Amino acid sequence: MKRTLLLLLLGVAVFALALGCSSGNGGTDPDDPQDPAEETIGPAGGTIELDGEARLVIPAGALAGAVDFSLGENGSPTTPPANRLFVTGAYSVEPSGTAFTTPATITLEYDEGDLAGEDESSIVIYTDDGRAWRPLTTTVNESDNEVSAEIDHLSDFVATVNGGSSADGVFAALRVHRGVMKMPGIDPIITDFLVAWFDSTVAPCAPASPIMVDSVTCNEYALEWSAAGTLYKYTPPVSLPFLVEDATYTFDVDGGGQAPDLTASIDFLDSSPYITEPEMGDTVSLGGFTVTWSVAGSENIFLTIVGVGGAGFVGVETANTGSHTFSASELSELSAAPYALTLNYVNEENIDETGYDPDSYIRAQVTSPISMTLE
């Protein structure tokens, strides 16, 4: 059960606090960015370029009228897509949301030294749709160290490579997950789901090189393939809790020749704790503060604090006594900024089956996130 704390950030995505596992050092110096490029472009089309970094080419007919564009590096991008490394800066094109009747082309320049050993052909441009990073169909020009993608509207863009490692066999991640969000003045909101993915890459936060199988079931529930998530998932037709505390959940996988058949079981947890203090949206002190939660028990709790704008990370494992006090020294690497505070209550076992990577796992998890501000 005691895996790296970063792996326990998985469940935050269900509450639109999607978090990546790693970030690269790519892009320009964030302490010395270029001034944004500005250009007015109309129906005749045109180009706006940030010298040596990024450019946007808008074809004739893509705009109905003149638009004042600005292209600059985003100094505080959200965390990277799961299991991806940033290999360029993240670039914002304003006015955000501007739509094109004919696709425009965004091009980003990269440095081969920022690829963390990955092949240039594997670079993918991602766009931030306001909720999460999404991949775009990407063309790689290795001779000019450029990657390009067609876009139909403006947003933030960044080039990435895979952040996982090659699997020894098939990497499997099977999850029985409950999210519990407590808003002030209302009962806790519970969201249950089942997830499974199979990968040729050890990518514990989300699929990197997904493998499709014939079928996945968990108890009486059939998991369906999600093309958007490149994984198998079950959520109830009506958003009601369906997981039972202390029950055993068994995944049966028909690999269809793409992965070995697999049966693996996990006991769900004995309770569903959620954060009671601080409350959603509270401001707490960098000098220290106390977190309390609703239910205490025997298993340990993992608490994580993650900067919304890449402002830092703190993680602790603590006894499930119902409270934990973060000291000033634990918070010393953080700065005044918004953060996501997440409680993770976890039961996890490795999958030890022939044909599967030894890092494969099955996990039962309860996650309770809130947003807060440190100052």
The CA-atom distances, in angstroms, between 118 and each of 158, 163, 180, 204, 369 are 16, 9, 38, 18, 33
Question: Does 350 fall in a domain?
Answer: no
Question: Does 306 fall in a domain?
Answer: no
pLDDT band at 3 (very low <50, low <70, confident <90, very high): very low
The CA-atom distances, in angstroms, between 295 and each of 292, 320, 322, 368 are 9, 8, 6, 12
What is the C-alpha separation between 227 and 160, in angstroms, rounded? 20
Residues 171 and 113 in one domain: no
Question: Does 285 fall in a domain?
Answer: no
Provide the token pair at 292: 């309390």
CATH number of 50's domain: 2.60.220.30
What confidence tens digit (pLDDT) does each residue in 188-213 have?
999 999 999 999 888 777 777 789 99
Residues 176 and 157 in one domain: no
pLDDT band at 128 (very low <50, low <70, confident <90, very high): confident
Question: Does 300 fall in a domain?
Answer: no
Q: Stretch 158-168: mean pLDDT, rounded?
A: 83
The dihedral of CA 371, 374, 79, 156: what is its sign? positive
Provide the token pair at 271: 């309770």
Give the three-class secondary structure for 42. Answer: coil
Residue 201 φ/ψ, nearest 5 degrees: -125, 140
Residues 179 and 156 in one domain: no
Structural domain boundaries enclosing 179: 5-19+165-269
pLDDT at 179: 94
From 220, 250, 269, give the residue that closes a domain. Answer: 269
Residues 152 and 199 in one domain: no
Residue 272: which of 347, 331, 336, 205 has the closest Cα? 347
Question: Does 95 fall in a domain?
Answer: yes
Question: Does 231 fall in a domain?
Answer: yes
Residues 157 and 169 in one domain: no
Residues 148 and 228 in one domain: no
Residues 230 and 188 in one domain: yes
Q: What's the Rg (C-alpha) of the chain?
A: 22
Strand order in the sheet with 288-293: 275-277, 288-293, 323-327
pLDDT band at 83 (very low <50, low <70, confident <90, very high): low
Residue 51 has pLDDT above 90, yes or no: no
Residues 48 and 124 in one domain: yes
Residues 158 and 173 in one domain: no
Residues 43 and 95 in one domain: yes
Residues 249 and 156 in one domain: no
Question: Does 329 fall in a domain?
Answer: no
What confidence tens digit (pLDDT) does each residue in 220-269 have?
999 999 876 689 999 898 878 999 999 999 999 999 999 999 999 999 99
Contact predicate 48/55, CB 8 Å: yes
From 218, 238, 269, give the residue that closes a domain. Answer: 269
Question: Does 10 fall in a domain?
Answer: yes
Comparison of pLDDT for 181 and 204, the residue scoring more: 181
Residues 107 and 181 in one domain: no
What's the total number of domains in the chain?
2
Provide the token pair at 315: 């993680």
From 112, 127, 162, give the residue that closes a domain. Answer: 162
Provide the token pair at 112: 């081969």
